[in-house]
A = this chain, B = another copy of it.
């Protein structure tokens, strides 16, 4: 793994969550980086989301540090705004950077006051141990109900050199499209202006984080940030930028697939590919209702090739199509042809569906060229276990 140049990382246990496992992390760029971000579109927004937005406005899209805690969302609390500001200030002071170049994030339970002293007391040691290698430690520290850290990398050759891209994310539950969804941080050492950076992140988010759903819920804290510090000394030109867009989308897709695979209680990661819709938006809409159907998700959990549930879910998308012109395949095996049952070896397919990755292909015959991929996971008793006892 080739990490981008000019970044340092650190994580520690600050006592925010009960389990003694790192819950506070810092990502610092050695120089001022261009910063782009997408945030939750939930009407209820956590204090750190509001403050990060304000900081990016004040800094005109520049940042030096990301301060993130797990174990408490700092949302719907009396002291939320004060806590977000006080902890960002403490980090800024120690790092000797302007406070508006610190972007705070939180994840965890909603409605419980977050004690800022836990963070400010841990910060000096956290800053002291910043190192270019501690990347995976940060990926571990931001996990909540996730089981595994999620990281992805890409190298990109441009104009006589190589720029690096690295991403880390957390997910698991309360994940749904139409927002940044969950926490994700992308770092690159390419030199890109804030003005050019935001559309790159927005386009990649639209095809990755906004096409991911675990349980249809959208958090109050969802945030994806992309930093570009230019430490490689390389500045992508207009042609390079299309390549950069692709690499960024690829890294973010990798992260999103990891989130789906590690969805709360998931036994199958599910990739849904819809094509033949009028537009990409229509295709994404069909894919989304399939992804969010508990009946589809439980069928996959049971390795049951119940394509009727897929067709029926698609019919609720509000997207016009002729059910008699739909082909569906599972794991590459056609199960529905022209809206009717195809002949297939059900036992053999049920066996194939025991694999941990499930592919659902939904093809609308006709001239439409809109297609979209969507990622989700199955719905199992594990999800119930995790969420019926979250706080206890």
Chain A residues with CB under 8 Å of chain B are 42-45, 73, 75-78, 109-113, 173-174, 176, 215-220, 292-295, 298-299, 301-302, 304, 306-309, 311-317, 319-321, 323, 336, 339-341, 379-381, 383-385, 387-392
Contacts and interface: CB of A to CB of B under 8 A. Distances in A.
Given A42-B315, A304-B388, A111 B295 contact: no
Given A76-B308, A111-B311, A298-B388, 15 more contacts: A42-B312, A42-B315, A43-B317, A44-B311, A77-B340, A78-B340, A110-B308, A111-B307, A111-B336, A113-B341, A174-B295, A216-B216, A216-B293, A218-B312, A302-B389
Nearest to A389: B302
B111 A391 contact: no
A298 B217 contact: no
Copies assembled: 2
Contacts of A294: 215-217, 294, 379, 383, 387
Contacts of A109: 308
Contact of A392 (B174, B304, B339, B380): B304
Nearest to A306: B391
Contact of A295 (B173, B312, B320): B173
A54 B327 CA distance: 28
A309 B220 contact: no
A292 B292 CA distance: 11
Which are the 9 A-B pairs with shortest beta-carbon distances?
A110-B308, A302-B388, A44-B315, A298-B387, A43-B315, A111-B308, A42-B315, A215-B294, A381-B381
A391 B304 contact: yes
B381 A76 contact: no
A316 B217 contact: yes
Contacts of A110: 308-309, 311-312
A75 B308 contact: yes
A267 to B, nearest CB: 10
Nearest to A41: B316
Nearest to A307: B111
Interface-central residue, A315, A316, A392, by most chain B CB under 10 Å? A316
